[in-house]
Amino acid sequence: MTTNSALAIEATGLVKAFGDTTAVDGIDLAVRRGSVYGMLGPNGAGKTTTIRMLATLIRPDAGTALVLGHDIVKASDEVRGAVSLTGQLASVDEDLTGRENLILIGRLLGLKRQAAKTRATELLEAFGLSDAGGKLVKNYSGGMRRRLDIAASIVVTPELMFLDEPTTGLDPRSRNQVWGIIRALVAGGTTILLCTQYLEEADQLADGIAVIDHGRVIAEGTPSQLKASVGSGALRVRLLDPEQRPLAEQVLDREFGDIILEPDPAALSASCSDADRAAKAIAELARSGVRIANFSLSQPSLDEVFLALTGHPAEEVPSDDPVEEEQPT
């Protein structure tokens, strides 16, 4: 039954179409046990559909997949027994309280009443939701909802967890919290398949990344391989005084070349992915008397990854079936 025990997910040629739209068009995946695997792609690329197939919510039209050694079609019940899903639309019941949600899942997974209650308390505490435990989930903030959602997924610790865009729509602080939780899960030995639209997120968390476009894997590798293939990020500087921009341009030009003057009359940027060089350039600017309002060193965006890999920017595919396709929460 188990063909390769080192793999948590082994998918070959998965295909799923909704009407005329082929959402997933022959996806292969090999995810090692204990790793975090990122699926990176724009809205409508087929990430959610792939996850829904692997979590046995929908059947593939073609192809096969083993999840933890179980066939997703023939042994779907065994698959459900070992995985948990945190969907993109928060998979918690808005009309119940946070605590009730966790007790509900605990009871459904076979915990006795008292054990389910104890577990709910423990998880609310661990996820910083103790105070909100008695409130209805519809009154939660996006970040709290996400944390509850993940807590609900680990009421009984799964061997494999599907996380569908866990930080989409969250503020940076909540996003950092969710990342921290994901790291803790991984440290505990859970394998994670993570869907995301953000290269930075995949870079922060994943050991391996597959870039998905139009239902196909168009590139695969480690985050650093991927970034190397994409090229550099950008150092962006915003000045206090727009009058100083020509001076700043001169200084930066000595460091980098290729300076871009942005539409904002006080901003300019240079292509750069090395933090040390960026720091040096900022120091140079300060020494030359350029007053800086702020600066940032950003990684290539998903758009740039796509541009580099496919020659076209990441486009959102309009979906025919709103239930089956990705929607921003």
Partner 1 sequence: MSQIPTTKRAPAATDADETAVRKAIASTSRPPRANALSTAITFGWRGMLKVKHVPEQLLDVTITPVMFVLMFTYLFGGAIAGSTGAYLDYILPGILVMSVLFVTVYSGVALNTDLTKGVVDRFRSLPIWRSSPLVGSLLGDSVRYVLAGTVIISVGVIMGYRPGAGVPGAVSALGLVVVFAFGLSWVFTTLGLLLRSPNAVMNAGFMGIFPVTFLSNVFVDPTTLPPILEGFVNVNPVSTLATASRGLMEGNAEAGDIVIVLAVAAALTLVFAPLTTRLYRRG
Per CB under 8 A, residues contacting partner 1 are 52, 55-58, 77, 80-81, 83-85, 87-97, 100, 104-105, 107-112, 115, 119, 122-123, 125-128, 131, 136, 147, 152, 154-157, 176-177, 180-181, 183-185, 187-188, 190, 323
**Tokens coding 277:** 């060089």
Rounded to whole angstroms, the Cα distance separating 212 from 219 reads: 7
Which one, 30 or 156, has the nearer CB to partner 1? 156
Taking the complex as a whole, the smallest distance from the CB of residue 147 to partner 1 amounts, in Å, to 6
**Tokens coding 307:** 């541009």
Q: How far is CA 151 from CA 39, 65, 263, 305, in A?
A: 22, 27, 44, 32
Taking the complex as a whole, the smallest distance from the CB of residue 17 to partner 1 amounts, in Å, to 14
Which one, 11 or 55, has the nearer CB to partner 1? 55
Which one, 315 or 324, has the nearer CB to partner 1? 324
Which one, 97 or 197, has the nearer CB to partner 1? 97
Q: 305 and 40 in contact (C-beta within 8 Å)?
A: yes
- The dihedrals phi and psi of 163, each to the nearest 5 degrees, come to -120, 115
In DSSP notation, 218-244 reads EEEE-HHHHHHHH---EEEEEES-GGG
Which one, 145 or 236, has the nearer CB to partner 1? 145
Rounded to whole angstroms, the Cα distance separating 258 from 241 reads: 22
